[in-house]
Amino acid sequence: MDVFVVSQLLSRPVLTPLELAENRLRLLLERFPDYRKTLSLAVAHEETAPNAMSYQGWQWHDVETHPTKLIRLVTEGISRISLRTRQATYYVLRDRDVVKLILNKYRY
C-alpha cells in the first residue's frame, strides 16, 4: 500500500456507536416504513412499564406486528429477545433513546 492510501484510511472520520445505531435504524425505516408504528408502540410499552425491575418486555400483540416480522428487528440489532418460553417470546429495545430520537427526528 502506498503512503497516501494509508493516510486516507487513517484520516477518515470514525462513527461513534450512537451514530452507527442511528444509521442502522434510519436505513431500516427507509426500507421498511411499516416498522415505525411497531417501534413507537414498543417505546410506549417500555416507558409505561409499571415496575422496571421486573419488566420482561413486549410481545408481538403489544406492538401489533406479526411475530415473524419482529425477527428482523432482532437480526438488525434494534431489539433483543429478553425472555423466551413455550408460550411466548418477549422483546426489548437495545437502545430506547436512539429509537425515540430517530422517530422524532425524521418523522417517518
The predicted-structure confidence for 17-65, as pLDDT tens digits, reads as follows: 778 888 889 999 999 999 999 999 999 999 998 887 889 999 999 999 9
pLDDT at 75: 93
Spatial contact of 62 and 79, defined as CB atoms under 8 Å apart: no
Global pTM reads: 0.80
pLDDT at 12: 62
Per-chain mean pLDDT for the chain: 87
Name all contacts of 105-108 with Cβ < 8 Å and 24+ positions apart: 106/26, 106/29, 108/29, 108/30, 108/33, 108/36
Three-class DSSP category at 91: strand
Q: How far apart are CA 75 and CA 26, in angstroms?
A: 15
- Structural class in CATH, domain 15-106: mainly alpha
